[in-house]
Amino acid sequence: MKKILKKLFYVKHSGHHTIVRILGIRIKYKTKQSHYVDTMPFLQEIHDYLSQNTNGFFLLNRGLQLDDNKRQLRDQVNNKMASNEYKTVPNKCLCGADNDEIIAVRDRYGIKINTVICKNCGLVRTSPYYDEESLGKFYNIEYRSLYTLCNNDFDLFFSNQCSIGEKIINNLKKCTKFSPKNKNVYEIGTGMGGILMPFMNLGAKIKGVDLGQEYINIGKTKGLDLEVGSLEVLKQYPKADLLILNHILEHIVDPITFLTQCRDILDDEGLVYIGVPTLEMIGPIYENNIFAYLQNAHVYDFSTGTICYVLECAGWSPLHVISDQGVVIAKKTNKFRKRTDIDAGHYEYALNYLKQVDKLFFNGVIKHD
Ligand SMILES: [Zn+2]
């Protein structure tokens, strides 16, 4: 049986190309250095899946480049999931529907986790997702080493954060009248607080919170006002004029409740600045590679449409959307959109977008023998 399978499914590397053969279909595509994850162990899975579902996307050697250490961490996570040490639980869609379609069964590391799209509202998410205890363990044990691109170079990480802070200031300047001087600018999930640095330099009264003690300590040595914790910590301070949530919402299981609670720490005229990786960034930022984008730590893969939906359900009104950066600037309102009030047609939009980038990635190189 194994011999037959090997004839029907194979992966070959030649120079800068990868050739994958699945039954009668031969796929040849350029392999970049950043594409690495082995497809071979997953071919049976691809076949099983293809026979059931036509809206699936496959890793096919285009995940992230993994060194030996990261490979070992990937296998460790997969083994822990297989043995139920890392438990997953159903993650029901925010719209309340129970009508999902699986679109990927691996992430960019080759971790075996399902990405689904809700056929009702079009929200793309990970389901089932880790339970709280397993997630805590994963963040403590594997997350940072697996995900870090800076190889624990804290100075590089901090200066990258500072550049993001400057970009946020520019975006705010372009889109709003917001000026940091004397304003209360807070950030949840601040890491080392580098994003807040340029705000502080422009005279803002900054506060950053993060659950990671180590990062907070490093940020404090740079003169930043940081504390270990989350939203609760910020409640004891004056109301914020600006709250920054950069790349944290996609990690939160119930982002609507979280964003609703965030209203409490904001001034009535306050703004929230959201940055999330969106589906629309797969084209321009991830070079059409869905598997440079999908990652097991993300509960949600928002689009600009679904991030606005989530904000409106939580009592925020989006003022500016910068689609190719995954940025939304919103203001506090007293209106709460109903979760059942979904955008009709968003399912088709999201799925078509993914199909389009997937096609562009392979760029017409799929050949039938
Ligand atoms: Zn839904």
Question: Is residue 359 one of the residues assigned to a domain?
Answer: no
CATH number, residue 226? 3.40.50.150
In this predicted structure, what is the pLDDT of residue 153? Answer: 80
Total number of domains in the chain: 1
Mean pLDDT of 16-35: 65
Domain span at residue 205?
Answer: 154-342
Spatial separation of the C-alpha atoms in residues 219 and 165, rounded to whole Å = 14
Question: How much is the mean pLDDT over the chain?
Answer: 88
Question: Is residue 8 one of the residues assigned to a domain?
Answer: no
User: How far is ligand 1, taken at its centre, from the CA of residue 125, in Å?
Assistant: 9
User: How far is ligand 1, taken at its centre, from the CA of residue 169, in Å?
Assistant: 33
User: How far is ligand 1, taken at its centre, from the CA of residue 223, in Å?
Assistant: 43
Is residue 15's pLDDT more than 70?
no
Question: Is residue 292 one of the residues assigned to a domain?
Answer: yes
Which among 58, 123, 101, 112 has a CA at the least distance from the CA of 289? 58
Mean pLDDT of 43-54: 59
User: How far is ligand 1, taken at its centre, from the CA of residue 158, in Å?
Assistant: 37
User: How far is ligand 1, taken at its centre, from the CA of residue 94, in Å?
Assistant: 6
Question: Is residue 201 one of the residues assigned to a domain?
Answer: yes
User: How far is ligand 1, taken at its centre, from the CA of residue 142, in Å?
Assistant: 30
User: What is the value of pTM for the model shown?
Assistant: 0.86
Give the total residue count for the chain: 369
Question: Is residue 54 one of the residues assigned to a domain?
Answer: no
Question: Is residue 293 one of the residues assigned to a domain?
Answer: yes
Mean pLDDT of 32-36: 57
- Ion ligand 1 residues within 5 Å by Cβ: 93, 95, 97, 118, 120-121, 123
In this predicted structure, what is the pLDDT of residue 147? Answer: 87
Mean pLDDT of 208-237: 94
Question: Is residue 332 one of the residues assigned to a domain?
Answer: yes
User: How far is ligand 1, taken at its centre, from the CA of residue 256, in Å?
Assistant: 13
